Amino acid sequence: MVEATLHGDRKVYSVSAFNEGIAVWLRRLPDVWIEGEVTELRRNDAWATMFFTLKDPTTGASLGVTMARRRFDALELHLVDGEKVQVQGRAEVYEVKGELAFRAGAIERLGLGDHLAGIERLKRALAAAGLFAAERKRPLPRLPRAVGVLTGADAAARGDVVMGIRARYPPMHIVVAETRVQGAGAPVRIVATLAALAAHPDVDVVVIARGGGSFEDLLPFSDERVVRAVVACPVPVVSAVGHEQDTPLCDLAADVRASTPSAAARLVVPDAAELGVALERSRAGLERTVRRLLTRDRERLERHVERLRAAPQLLLERRRATLDRAGARLQALSPRATLERGYAIVRLGESAVRDAAAVSTGALVDIELAVGALAARVEETRP
Amino acid sequence: VTEAERSFEELQRELEEVVGRLERGDVPVDEAIRLWQRGEELYRRCAAMLEAAAGRVEELAAETRDSGVPGM
């Protein structure tokens, strides 16, 4: 059916003939299902065909998709950019331009089961890559300079975090960043907002707060881009997303998981009153210690001065005692003590008489006694 | 280090030495009297330093009792 002209032995096709040939060949292929994210959706009431681009969220590869506008409208999908869909159809060439597109016959928004299975697969893959490992978890700062809070327009979660922080630590600097947290397109915004918060010079910890919601509402918090952004965040992240039973993947990736936004507030700031009490206790301890040291020094000084004052007296007494002993010894050596015991000293002139032969009968001698002296005449001498 | 710049601990250590020498009692009496005078002087200076420190402690304690913890 496709006509070629012959130039010698060369078969040559016209452009339209070639495009038609491709089209015919492509029509022989069976229908397939493709999954991807919707972007660049273009639809106009005046057009017979609507267009969008289907994007592979992990590699970024894209494919143009076309669909009859009426058929698309009949599906009432109200698709927006970023939504995950499965599209049934086949490749088709736009013959006028030779452009390849995917002609969709059916579009289905990804079902709950598909999402669950997808999350489960992602969870296993990220866990295997070590993104949820306990040793990756960072400790929260004891007293951050500022707390970053990422929330949706959802007033309740935001209020719970801000009030919780204010109640515990009134002067805390809180940087709130609101962004779209549900629906298609939310993951990209959450990633950008988280990066902006972490880049704030004073923000030392970020709380991601999102109240409860339907499974679909919380899907962005299990998106691989969000999970990876939480892991890569330069400051610790506390995740308070949904209710206890939800466990979106960003809860697993966060450094700390909080069951509620209020619980997150309690985790990121210390209790100012408790801190004050502890500080006061330290100060009292400081004062007590200084006073104790002073008392110790004063007592030691008093002991020293007592000893100092007693020492000269003791020294003199010891000297006096020595002197007394010397005196006593002197005393003991003097003849006086001998006289006390009843001995007497006989003197002839100046010298003591030791030999009877030295004295002649009739000589006058002095006899010295312990008390007093006698003048005596020698009656007789015996050898 | 001049006499006035010496710390409380240095002065107290010297006082201790003086007392020790006096208590051993092997110094001549003149020397003992000189040591005693020196000891009394050291004591006066140590005591004055302690009193000054105690006064400063009271001042600080009163100051902090009045101020409270800032920002609380």
- Asked whether the ipTM of the predicted complex exceeds the cut of 0.85, the reply is no
Full-model pTM? 0.54
Query: Which of A290, A300, A314 has the CB atom closest to B57's CB atom?
Result: A290
Closest-CA residue of A relative to B64 is A283
CA distance A18 to A95: 9
Q: Are strands A49-55 and A62-68 parallel, antiparallel or unpaired?
A: antiparallel
CA distance A40 to A309: 102
pLDDT higher than 90, residue A350: no
Residue written as token pair 């549900």: A182
Rounded to a whole number of angstroms, the CA Rg of chain B reads 19
Contact at 8 Å (CB) between B18 and B38?
A: yes
Interface check for A323 against chain B (CB to CB < 8 A): the answer is: no
CA distance A124 to A128: 6
**Residue type (1 letter), A261:** P
Indicate yes or no: CB of B29 within 8 angstroms of CB of A276.
no
Both tokens assigned to A103: 């002609």
- The pLDDT confidence band at residue A79, using thresholds 50, 70 and 90, is confident
Each residue's pLDDT tens digit, A234-270: 999 999 998 767 788 999 999 999 988 999 999 999 9
Please name which of B40, B38, B48, B37 lies closest in space to residue B8, comparing C-alpha atoms.
Answer: B48
Contact at 8 Å (CB) between A149 and A262?
A: no
Interface check for B28 against chain A (CB to CB < 8 A): the answer is: no
Residue written as token pair 């947290």: A181
Q: Given this model, what pLDDT does residue A311 score? A: 87
**Residue type (1 letter), A121:** R
